Amino acid sequence: MQDQLSALVTKAEAELPSLPTRPDVEAAKARYIGPKGELTGLMKQMGTVPKEERPAMGKLINQTQMALQALLDTALARIEANELAAQLGPAIDPTLPSPDPLPGTRHPLTLVREELNSILRKVGFTVVEGPEVETEYYCFDALNTPVDHPARDAQDTFYLPPEATFPNVAKKVPNEKYLLRTHTSSVQIRTMLKGEPPIRMVSPGRVYRRDTVDATHSANFHQMEGLYVDKNVTVSDLKALLDYVLKSLLGADTKVRFRPHYFGYTEPSFEVDLSAKHLPKVNKEWVEIMGCGMVDPAVFDDVGYDSSVWSGYAFGMGIERIAMMMYGIDDIRYFYQNDLRFLRQFS
Ligand code: DAH
């Protein structure tokens, strides 16, 4: 019986690798291991095997069955692979030049971001990136934004489920929550915790807020954060920098004004309005464009900078808002639809 079992496997090894179609494999399966198949036939001879040899024989039968099943599986997988290859057609050479090379254009948000980066690099700012998944500490606590501040409300912020883990974004405080950053101001904190002043950095990137989507709002947009820390920094340094940045970007006729405002991480704080009537479709005299202020001493205390020695300013602007003014775009949703008719207008 032992010989018959191994002969059966040998026969299958010779036959199955050349079966051409699925029905052939099905038929072979019935012949080898089906209820009326050869293996079942051999199993029926168990009664004639002496009692003490039965366990060993049983084991051999099992092994034979597994070997036959594996050969059938391999035959089926080979046929499936052939079918797929037939569907895919002849192999493609990915190194051939494209017959229709569509010249790409830069996305308008990329154009504005790169222009801003380059304007700020000229005056010594370094471009820094931070994670889009943040912890409450970097997004709020360290920015002097207490737990009862409305910006932290689940109505305004996308929190991640408590079981979510992000090995690359270490929690600072036990049990704090992960969230999609609501602003790029979190990168200020990351930068200050990494090194000593003086600091001059900007951080462009994507931010997320719960918001209804309409022509001027999106739950996901882009900001550029700036931070300058040194000795004897004043509001007039801040005003001069923003004048320089906005005039370089939008033209010498651009006017900039500060309005008092409140942000937890700056004191005093301002909202910045732009007047740029020379731009297309700008029909309001003043358009609110960003927030800014002098870094609050509480923020310095939190990152371990001596606030009696160091001073600084910070600002944060929406890139979409600026791009909309620059290019006369009246609906924010155009930025995210990837409609080539829109995108090809920028180069
Ligand atoms: N984080 C603010 C926002 O998202 C913008 C902002 C305001 C950034 C004042 C700053 C600042 O650095 O000082 O609306």
Q: Does the predicted model carry a pTM greater than 0.85?
A: no
Separation in Å, CA 271 to CA 143, 220, 288: 17, 21, 7
| For the CA of 207, the nearest atom of ligand 1 | 4
Percent pLDDT > 70 in the chain is 99
Nearest protein Cα to ligand 1, atom 14? 291
Residues 139 and 284 in one domain: yes
Return the CATH number at 208.
Answer: 3.30.930.10
Q: pLDDT tens digits for 177-220? A: 999 999 999 999 999 999 999 999 999 999 999 988 888 889 99
Domain boundary among 31, 54, 88: 88
Residues 20 and 137 in one domain: no
Is position 316 within any domain? yes
Residues 189 and 332 in one domain: yes
Residues 155 and 293 in one domain: yes
Residues 213 and 72 in one domain: no
Residues 174 and 61 in one domain: no
Residue 13: count other Cβ atoms within 10 Å of its Cβ: 12
Does 334 have pLDDT greater than 70?
yes
Residues 173 and 249 in one domain: yes
Is position 99 within any domain? no
Is position 314 within any domain? yes
What tokens appear for 330 in the block?
């009246």
Residues 328 and 180 in one domain: yes
pLDDT, position 120: 98
Q: Bridge-partner residues for 274, per DSSP?
A: 256, 287
Q: Who lines ligand 1 at CB under 6 A?
A: 183, 185, 225, 263, 265-266, 291-293, 314-316
Nearest protein Cα to ligand 1, atom 4? 183
> Which of 113, 120, 133 has its CA nearest to residue 346?
113
Domain boundary among 28, 56, 88: 88
Is position 93 within any domain? no
Mean pLDDT for the stretch of residues 254-277: 96
| For the CA of 183, the nearest atom of ligand 1 | 4
- How far apart are the CA of 70 and the centre of ligand 1, in A? 64
Number of structural domains in the chain: 2
Ligand 1 pocket test target in 241, 263, 299 with most atoms within 8 Å of CB = 263
Is position 19 within any domain? yes
Does 13 have pLDDT greater than 90?
yes
Residues 247 and 180 in one domain: yes
| For the CA of 225, the nearest atom of ligand 1 | 12
Are the CB atoms for 289 and 257 separated by under 8 Å?
no
**Sole residue written with tokens 């005039």:** 247
**Sole residue written with tokens 């022509």:** 215
Is position 209 within any domain? yes
Average pLDDT, the chain: 93
Is position 94 within any domain? no
Is position 103 within any domain? no
Residues 114 and 235 in one domain: yes
Ligand 1 pocket test target in 152, 199, 221, 265 with most atoms within 8 Å of CB = 265
**Strand, coil or helix: what is 203?**
strand
Residues 58 and 124 in one domain: no
Ligand 1 pocket test target in 185, 270, 294 with most atoms within 8 Å of CB = 185
Cα–chain center distance at 102 = 26
Q: Bridge-partner residues for 207, per DSSP?
A: 221
pLDDT, position 101: 66
Residues 197 and 337 in one domain: yes
Domain encompassing residue 132:
108-346
What tokens appear for 300 in the block?
């310095």
DSSP state of 192: H
Domain boundary among 88, 116, 151: 88
| For the CA of 295, the nearest atom of ligand 1 | 13
Q: pLDDT tens digits for 223-240? A: 999 999 999 999 999 999
